Amino acid sequence: MANILAWGNPRDMLTREIVPGVTVRDVRTLSELQAALDDRDVLILADVAHLEAEQDAVAAWVKSAGTRRAVLMGVADIGAADDAARRFPFLDDVLIRPVSGNRLRLHLERALDSLSSRRAIEQLDAAVARKSQELHELNKIGVALSAERDINKLLDLILFKCREITAADAGSLYLVKRGKDDSTTDDDYLSFELAQNDSVSVSFEKGQVPLSETSIAGYAALSGKVVNVPDAYNPPAGSPFKISRAFDEKSGYKSRSMLAVPMRDHQDDIIGVVQLINKKKDHKTVLRPVTLVDSTVIPFTSVDEELVTSLASQAAVAYENTRLIQEIKSLFHSFVHASVTAIESRDPTTSGHSDRVAILTVGTAERVDAIDSGPFKDVRFTKDQLQEIRYASLLHDFGKVGVREKVLIKGKKLYIGEMMVLRQRFAYIKRTLEAEHLRSKLEQVLAGRSSPELLLQMDRAYEERQREIDGLLNMVAQANEPTILEEESVRALMDLPNRSFADMEGNRHPFLTPNEVQALSIRRGSLSEKERREIESHVTHTFRFLSEIRWTSEYRRVPEIAYAHHEKLDGTGYPRKLPAAEIPIQSKMMTICDIFDALVAWDRPYKKSVPVERALHILGEEAGSGKLDKNLLDLFIEAKIYEKTLPKAGAQAEVAR
Ligand SMILES: [Fe+2]
Ligand SMILES: [Fe+2]
């Protein structure tokens, strides 16, 4: 092959000397010139007279890198060289004819030098472009890895991306697990987490592999080295590991090239191993039949080692982050549950209330989120917002820890101890009456006036007084119930402080103390005004407690949502009497669910449970009077959200009764 191509007549362009090492071939047309090129470097001398006719075609050819391996120079007469350089800008230079042998050699040498430099630059450019592409790819994968919060999906993604970036047909992922004994690493092991294979279906089962150098993954994990084996069935001589053929034999697969890369976390600890199998020339190839392995599988390259090492450490950090986030979440979750247990253990009759309110409120929110029309068509809740609602619901009554237990579980108007004292007092009054009666009778007998008529008369009077005391006690016991008090009973109660009895020392005391009268005069329910305020203060306690927690941004509204769970749309709720517009929709949902559960839950000592139908009716009345959100209540009823907790609330039994 000539190293100079002369487009035109060489005699018109060159002197006639013979230059050793320089061979010239002449071509007549552009297509002849193109056909004469092969993959070697060449100097083209083009007579500018020939260029004229094919100027556009030559320009296009040069532009499309057709002269990548050639230096293209024009040859012109002495007076026309400058003009030619101007007219044919694609030329590398224009020489003056005739070109002597020495100049020809010089130009040829420079052309070859220039082409070789040009190629070196091209290679560098390609390497830079490839690196930048790899970097871009790694960054993209890094972002995808750090965005994945589900640990199983993350592991899947790690292995998939490692295979994708290396065109590996199959792969496995192992995690290093610490044994039970912290004092030694002897019982550490590899947990076989995941297997992927593009060519055969893998029936995968998680398992344990000993952490030893006898397996390729174990060796990579223990040594911290990248292991690159071109032929799995023939590992390098002296390798401590052997490659198991069990999978190949079972599935009809054939493992050839293998790459095992340790995953190092931010502390440089090895937390796992990515093992890749069978690098393919073309990632799309499916290795079926198995003989394709011989023709299409190639060894992993040093670039693969580099890429997977980098990716594996990003993956390790992402895995550790996700694991830590999950641990923090489950730690917090168990803390919330422990808090709920603490609240409910103070009032066992409300056991399960917080859980059920959480289920109902989240159920309502999910329903609202799913609706595309009507008043809630634009209301959406993300996964985090639903979790925020769950936490707010679970903790909505936490502030009850700040309410005295006796007030919290108070079922009647008098506390149990107060009622016992009162009963003792009435028993003492009756015993005093008895003693007085017997003393009078004895006095009559001793005075010799004990006619049977008189004694009978005295007995009757005594029994009458006993009945009166029993009647008074009965009335007190009835007034003690948390029902609505009749006007008549109120008057009788008011009278009792005027009745008195004498103690052992002869001091007189009223039948009922002013405090007892006040408690028994509560018109409705069992709580005095002060006690009612104390119970209501649980909402403020809840808010204060929840505000102490440094919630992450996605759950920042938990305190605010819980704070409004006793507010009513017409501004009659507590503690802040908020108007509807200032109550978060999450709280409006919670209020409905909270009331529903309180109504239908198992009987409490101070309150009977209400059948579901009745409970929904009561909620309907509350909505009708503008206290609850009617649209939310309709949705709660239509979507039968309330059924989600019925068995838990014991209400089904109630319905059946
Ligand atoms: Fe509450
Ligand atoms: Fe509640």
- Residue numbers of the domain that contains 370: 347-405+531-656
DSSP conformation class of 33: H
* Ligand closest to the CA atom of residue 590: 2
566 alpha carbon – ligand 1 mean position (Å):
6
Same structural domain for residues 591 and 541? yes
Whether 425 and 395 map to the same domain: the answer is no
Ligand 1 centroid distance, CA of 417 (Å): 27
Q: Ligand 2: distance of its center to the CA of 366 in Å?
A: 20
Check whether residue 177 and residue 243 sit in a common domain. yes
The residue among 476, 492, 524 that closes a domain is 524
What is the pLDDT, as a whole number, of residue 651?
47
154 in a structural domain? yes
CA 354–ligand 2 middle distance (angstroms): 7
**Segments of the chain with pLDDT less than 70:** 1-2, 603-607, 648-657
Q: 441 lies in a domain?
A: no
Ligand nearest to the CA of 355: 2
Please count the structural domains in the chain.
4
Ligand located closest to 539 CA? 1
Q: What is the pLDDT of residue 305?
A: 93
Ligand 1 mean position, distance from CA 594 (Å): 7
**Assigned domain for 330 exists:** no
Show Cβ contacts of residue 333 under 8 Å, excluding neighbours closer than 6 positions: none
Q: How far is CA 143 from the centre of its chain?
A: 17
**Nearest ligand atom owner, CA of 598:** 2
Q: Does residue 654 contact residue 608 with C-beta atoms inside 8 Å?
A: no
Ligand in closest contact with the CA of 574: 1
pLDDT in tens, 143-158: 887 778 788 888 898 8
Determine the pLDDT at residue 343: 84
Q: What is the CATH number of the domain that holds 179?
A: 3.30.450.40
The answer to whether the Cα torsion of 333, 335, 336, 338 is positive or negative is: positive
**Residues whose beta carbons lie less than 5 angstroms from ion ligand 1:** 397
Cα–Cα dist 609/29, whole Å: 104
**Which ligand approaches the C-alpha of residue 564 most closely?**
1
Last residue of a domain, one of 272, 291, 324: 324
Write out the DSSP string of 66-124. Answer: TTTTEEEEEEE-TTTHHHHHHH-TT-SEEEESSBPHHHHHHHHHHHHHHHHHHHHHHHH
Q: Do 507 and 540 fall within a single domain?
A: no
Give SS3 for 273: strand
Ligand 2 centroid–CA 398 distance in Å is: 9
Is 130 among the domain residues? Answer: no
- What's the CA gap between 329 and 337, in Å, rounded? 12
Residue 387 CA to ligand 1 center (angstroms) comes to 19
**Shortest-distance ligand to the CA of residue 357:** 2
Residues 316 and 363 grouped into a single domain: no
The alpha carbon of 515 and the centre of ligand 1 are apart by a number of angstroms equal to 28
- Among 524, 550, 570, the domain-final residue is 524
CA of 537 to the centre of ligand 1 (A): 9
pLDDT digits 0-9 by tens, 386-435: 999 999 999 999 999 889 988 888 888 999 899 999 999 999 999 999 99
Closest alpha carbon to 559 in 569, 572, 545, 575: 545
Task: Return the amino acid letter for 598.
Answer: A
Distance CA 454, CA 444 (A): 9
Q: Distance, CA 439 to ligand 2 centroid (Å)?
A: 58
Does 182 lie in the same domain as 56?
no
Is 443 inside any structural domain?
no
Distance from Cα 355 to the centre of ligand 2, integer Å: 10
Output the pLDDT for position 653.
41
Distance 520 CA to ligand 2 centre (A): 27
For residue 138, being part of any structural domain is answered with no
Give the Cα separation of 490 and 107 in Å (integer).
Answer: 125
Are 258 and 296 found together in one domain? yes
Q: Which of 45, 54, 135, 147 is nearest to 99 (CA)?
A: 45
Residue 386: give its domain's CATH number.
1.10.3210.10
How would you write 196-211 as a 3-class SS string? EECCCCCCCCCEEEEC
Cα of 590 from ligand 1 centre, angstroms: 10
Note residues around ion ligand 2 (Cβ under 5 angstroms). Answer: 397, 594
Say how many Å lie between the CA of residue 384 and the centre of ligand 2: 22
Task: Tell how far the Cα of 31 is from the centroid of ligand 2, in angstroms.
Answer: 90
Same domain, 173 and 193: yes
Ligand nearest to the CA of 565: 1
State in Å: Cα 224 to ligand 2 middle.
55
Q: Report yes or no on 451 lying in a domain.
A: no
Within 10 A of 397 (CB to CB), how many other CB atoms are there?
Answer: 25
Cα–Cα–Cα angle for 52, 56, 59, nearest 5°?
Answer: 105
Indicate if 170 and 274 belong to the same structural domain: yes
Domain shared by 398 and 421, yes or no: no
Q: Are residues 206 and 291 in the same domain?
A: yes
Q: Quote the pTM value.
A: 0.65
Same domain, 382 and 504: no
Residue 440 lies in a domain: no
How far does residue 610's CA lie from ligand 2's centre (Å)?
Answer: 16
